[in-house]
Amino acid sequence: MDTPVVNAIYAALIAFFINVVLCPIFIPYLTRLKFGQIIRDDGPQSHLKKANTPTMGGVVILFSLVIASMFFIRGNREGLLVLFATIGFGLIGFIDDYIKIVKRRSLGLRAYQKIVLQLLVATVFIWMAASWTTSYFYPGNPASMDTYFIVPFTHGKVIDLGLLYFPVLFIVMIGTVNSVNLTDGLDGLAAGVSLLVVTFFAFVALSAGSPVLPVAGAAAGSLLGFLLFNAYPARVFMGDTGSLALGGFIAAIAVILKAPLFLCIVGLIYVLESVSVIIQVLYFKKTGKRFFKMAPIHHSFELSGWPETRVVTLFYVITAVLCLGGFLGMRYF
């Protein structure tokens, strides 16, 4: 009989091989369509050589993740919820990429359009999550625990947010999605960091006995396969299609597992990327000067003379160490 772990491994392998097969076909196709990356004029000069590198590779990530998951989530409402968030945010990213690349409008969707669409997807997800999900940490699932989060490093203690639960979920969903999007600025950065974060939540799902485990396995396998083509020097970029889909996946699985607070630990790189942009904007408005050489913060490292691969490796190592710390924070299993 197949166990959840075996199913997760199968899902990871299926997603991995779909990427390995499709990327060599999809990349030349994107090149022929001239779906190349548009490089910011104010970005690091070293990135100019990346111009016209095919983008929208996130389509393969999304496709492989969904196909691999569908083999193992029959009757799995939690898994379907995670897929809904992943596909929903991924479609927003796809529209944004399409406008940027095909319509040649560099900014893509306008800011208010992105927020409205993201809020719509988040609203549907949160409504379904409140109606469908089960507590795996508290088998009795008392009603008073429906609005709780697990608190790290407290041996299983929780915080019940009550009426604040749903507004906080909106912040978690929208914040995570856009933070992952900001992290996607160097070859292999968002994919590698997200792979480590997804692996962390896969272990949490395993420990909790959650049926989202095969979906987490599919996401990990998809990212492993994509990294073969996205690592430096990248042959393809994921685009907003991939980064928003990954953000939706990570936010959704954290919510389903009642572990959004752990995103502040294992997803610290995402947090730093977002905070660096906020500080840069506020400081510039206040003083007319830049606080960092460039934001998001990975570009500031580059402009300080760090090679791109060194910045990416540093962020990988930081995330890996923080994931180990996150495991200690879930030690009550």
pLDDT in tens, 39-62: 555 556 555 566 678 889 999 999
Alpha carbons 89 and 242: distance in angstroms, whole number:
9
Judging by beta carbons within 10 Å of its beta carbon (0-12, 13-18, 19+), is residue 74 exposed, middle or buried?
exposed
Q: Is the per-residue pLDDT at 104 higher than 80?
A: no
Give the contacts of 101 (CB within 8 A, at least 6 positions apart): 35, 36, 38, 55, 56
Q: Is the per-residue pLDDT at 269 higher than 90?
A: yes
pLDDT at 143: 37
Number of Cβ within a 10 Å radius of residue 287: 9
pLDDT at 331: 67
**Average pLDDT of the residues of the chain:** 89
Q: Is the per-residue pLDDT at 138 higher than 90?
A: no
pLDDT at 41: 55
pLDDT at 287: 93
pLDDT at 30: 86
Going by C-alpha positions, the residue among 221, 9, 240 that lies closest to residue 109 is 240
Q: Give residue 3's pLDDT band: very low, low, confident or very high (50, 70, 90).
A: confident
Q: Give residue 140's pLDDT band: very low, low, confident or very high (50, 70, 90).
A: very low
Q: Using alpha carbons only, how large is the chain's radius of gyration in Å?
A: 19
CB 259 within 8 A of CB 204: yes
Alpha carbons 152 and 41: distance in angstroms, whole number:
42
Rounded (10°) CA dihedral 74, 176, 270, 319? -30
Give me the mean pLDDT over the 86-94 stretch.
Answer: 97
CB 23 within 8 A of CB 75: no
Give me the mean pLDDT over the 316-322 stretch.
Answer: 98
pLDDT at 141: 43
Judging by beta carbons within 10 Å of its beta carbon (0-12, 13-18, 19+), is residue 231 exposed, middle or buried?
middle
- State what percent of residues in the chain have pLDDT above 70: 88
